[in-house]
Chains A and B, each alone.
Chain A
Amino acid sequence: MKPSTMITAGLLAIGAAMILLPFIWMVSVSVKPHAEVFTTEVALLPKNPTLQNYWHAISQTDIPLYLLNGAIVTGGILVLQLLVTVPAAYALAHREFVGRNVMFAGIVAALLVPFHVTAIPIFIGLAEFRLLNTYTALIIPFVATAFGLFLLRQAFARIPKELVDAARIDGMSEMGIAWRVAFPLGMPTVIAFSIFSVTAHWNDLFWPLIATTDPDLATPPRGILFFRDEESGDDIGPLMAGATLITAPLVIGFLMAQKRFTQGLASAGLKG
């Protein structure tokens, strides 16, 4: 092996170690017994690792509730997004209808609008309908996904016209074609979009911070902040155990399906 290769590998490994530092610290503190956390001797790795903090986080705190809320909210968002987006993306790709071009232009324009821009009016609207502090408030604003419409339209447009026509001749309804032909054929894109959507909403803090004040509705990032402020830094072991538990689902998902994850998240660059 050439020395230059060794140097490159070495430097990249050092960089990777720096990237890993907060992960290692989080997991390390989460398995440290209380006595090792609050000492003036700071050590990267625990001397007597214990799972006590995890037990505490699961049985004594609301972390399981936050995880459940995260699943309800991200799941609800994704299901509604797909229900609304798949038929529309199919129609945009394979049907002629009045206003199609206007709608597509509208979707491209909507891609440019970050969610932060719409937050205040949506907050006021939800308040008018007495919907703040509900799961609905956390889910419904994201049903409109210009990004999903755009991504899926592009994917469905690659499906050959003949295939769609054949399905029509077989007597399939348009809705049936959208779900039974376009949806399965566009599956790689659907998965990439799903990964993007779940990651974005599982990790989001901005909207849960605004739309809910009830800790019982807290999604994982909101919940970890409730937890942190509740303990105010006295009980860092369980806090880090909680942080680990909240980060784990996506990190494990990523490690198991690296390629799909990378695709899904990298495509997000198209979004404004």
Chain B
Amino acid sequence: MKKLILTATLALSASVAAAETEIRVHYAIPTIWTETQEKLSEAFMEANPDIKVILDGPAESYADGVQRLLRESVAGTAPDVAYVGLNRWRILEDRGLTQTLDGFLPEDTDAAGYTPALLSLGQYQGEQHAMGTSASTMVLYVNPELVEQAGVSMDDFPTDFDGIIELAAKIDALGDNIEGVWIGRHDWRFQSLLGSHGGRPLTADETDITFDSDAGLAAASLYSRFRNEGGMSSMTQNDARQAFPAGTLGMFFESSSLLKRFEEGSAGNFELAVKGTPVVAEENVYFPTGGSAITLLTDDAQKQAAAWEYISFITGPEGQKIIVENTGYAPANKIVLDDESYLGAYYAANPTAKVGHAQVAAHAGPWYAYPGAEGVAVTDLIGAALVELSEGADVEETISVLADTVRNKLSMN
């Protein structure tokens, strides 16, 4: 009903004002983004009355979003601007769908709050193809009640993986349907563990796989240790996301962007706590940054100009303030972090958000995408190998078979 009324009103209002430039915007993950996107486009249109933003119906996930953009470009109905996963704009770039932003960026990027690190999230071979709009890293969500029930005080909460595994086993022993720890069998989670051990999935020139290094094996072995020593079950991502707020899962490695949802979901059941992902290596540590980037797709000059107005608003301090306040993502513009007038009040009211944002500030790094047409298929293969590990497969063998398969698929021999 909501949309029916909305469509009717839109149709009416569209006939009233026709002289303005319209830009169509694509985004994904409605749970996190729908309200925020509506607020963003309202605020933007208020500041730029001559530009009209039309939000496409959202895609379910970043993966679906990119597929949809590719399909729409086949069909000739691609939008003008698209929010895509930080690891996925390369898929669009690879097929020549993104327009370079170099001609639009201001001379002094630092003054605009775009630090080199933040810009690096959207650069490939020296060209700016995307701008980060929101950032997240993997944190550890904790159910303090289960921790206390297991006989451990939250003040003594472990800071390394060994301690977490030990605690997980204690929580797991509390009951039949109580789980100790859970982590997704997913490329990004694996890259996070890898980065914590100082490893990288690919060489810098992207000509070879490097996750079969010692760091990679150590990261991968956590999956089997979580299972063997911590009693991690084989439930699915969705199961876990339901189990944690319901209070049946003790510790959950997940994206910092889910904070708001878990807080709402667990309200009344328990008060959740957030911890950083343990850092293992002494140097080279990074956490792959999830979140979204914004890309320019239209090749129409007039639309491009309007679209850049939109992009700079979103990546500027005003847009970033709206994004942080509504989603809990860490900001992708330095001005909002430095200038207390933007988010000071927010952090005072949301101390749990600070953990994730501090982690971004300390260790943010790129979320590696596997190059070429098989890039998406490869992440599915990695996910499948992680499932095998979490069911007790031999770490060294699984990872070396996986690395060979991936090399083969990506023609890296």
Contacts and interface: CB of A to CB of B under 8 A. Distances in A.
Interface in B69-88: 71-72, 74-77
B56 interface: yes
A194 B60 CA distance: 33
A59 B77 contact: no
A38 B246 CA distance: 6
Interface string B1-41: 11110010000000000000000000000110010000000
B233 interface: no
B262 to A, nearest CB: 9
> B interface, by DSSP: helix, strand, loop or mixed?
helix
A62 B246 contact: no
**Chain B contact patch, size range:** 35 or more
Contact of B68 (A38, A39, A213, A231): A213
A224 to B, nearest CB: 12
A62 B2 contact: yes
A145 B247 CA distance: 52
Contact of A59 (B2, B60, B242): B2
Contacts of B68: 213
A58 B219 CA distance: 46
A231 B242 contact: no
Given A60-B2, A62-B2, A130-B77, A40 B60 contact: no
B248 interface: yes
B77 A132 contact: yes
B392 interface: no
B31 A232 contact: yes
Nearest to A230: B30
Given A39-B246, A40-B247, A213-B72, 8 more contacts: A38-B245, A62-B2, A65-B3, A68-B4, A126-B75, A216-B7, A216-B57, A233-B242
Interface of A: 35, 38-40, 58-62, 64-65, 68, 126-127, 130-133, 213-216, 225-226, 229-234
26 contacts: A38-B242, A38-B245, A38-B265, A40-B247, A62-B1, A62-B2, A65-B4, A126-B75, A127-B76, A132-B71, A132-B77, A133-B72, A133-B77, A213-B67, A216-B57, A226-B60, A230-B30, A230-B58, A230-B60, A232-B31, A233-B238, A234-B31, A234-B242, A234-B245, A234-B261, A234-B264
